[in-house]
Structure 1
Amino acid sequence: MNSGGFIQENFSIFQASHEGSWAILAILFLVAYFLFRGGKSKAGTIIHMIARLFFVIMLVTGASMLIAYQFAYFFFIKGILAVLLIGFMEAALGKAKRNENSLGMLFAVLVVLVVIVLMGYGIIRF
């Protein structure tokens, strides 16, 4: 059995896992961010590590869905934005942990997250 067949057969599982990981990841990011900002570094670090696990889940399920969509341009761009979002999230959490000004990174996270969600729901199409 080739990998394309496996992914096609289990597409709904990948999609549900992907959607769920996005929702949980957004919540974990905000919790970790505000824990770091509140001076709760140990708790923030734990939540940050859990968020990193969800980064991996999101990337694996997203890549699987990208294969299922045969690397369609729209979904490829969405994937690139998702990787950028992960970078912005990591930068924002790192700055928050070091008590540096992280408002710009937080704004970048929110903007890219909104764009990706709007793409996911089909509001932004090209």
Structure 2
Amino acid sequence: MYNMFYQSHIGSWAILVLLFFVGYFLLKSGKAKGSKIVHMVLRLFYIIMIVSGIGMIVILGFPLMYLVKGVLAFFLIYAMEMILVRTKKGTLGSQATIYWAMLIITLILVVLLGYGVISF
């Protein structure tokens, strides 16, 4: 069971990041319908990633490192959503640097925690 959650979790992370950038560049190029479809698929992968992550945490017995990774993952999802939604509405403005920095830092931390490069 753990292996099923693990493989779907890793796969969903890879697809999640790819879909985020595809959706962002579609928004910037003015293709609203295509970006809306990609954004909805992205939200589906958020759910897959969250469910598989919770499943792994339960199987492993709630280790602190993975709980921290989960909290950081929620901040990452928040940053992705804010960048896409505010770009679509045209209200990202001066907060763009904050959200992009949040996205990059949390993405790096989540990947490093997930692969065990950072552990405690």
TM-score of the two chains, using structure 2 as the length reference: 0.92
Bigger helix share: 2
After TM superposition, give the deviation of residue 87 of structure 1 in Å: 0.9
Between stretches 23-32 and 105-114, larger displacement belongs to: 105-114
Is it true that 1:115 corresponds to 2:109 in the alignment?
yes
Distance 1:110 1:118 in 2: 12
Runs of 4+ in 1 over 4 A off after TM superposition: none
After TM superposition, give the deviation of residue 107 of structure 1 in Å: 2.5
Distance 2:61 2:6 in 1: 15
Q: Which of residues 73, 91, 105 is equivalent to 2:99?
A: 105
Distance 1:87 1:58 in 2: 14
Q: Which of residues 66, 77, 86 is equivalent to 1:86?
A: 77
For residue 25 of structure 2, what is the amino acid of its counterpart? Answer: F
For residue 115 of structure 1, what is the amino acid of its counterpart? Answer: L
User: Percent identity, aligned pairs only?
Assistant: 41
Q: Which runs of 5+ in 2 are unaligned?
A: none
* Partner deviation per Cα, 1:36-93 (whole Å, 9 max, x = no partner): 1121111111100000000000000000001011111111010111111111111011
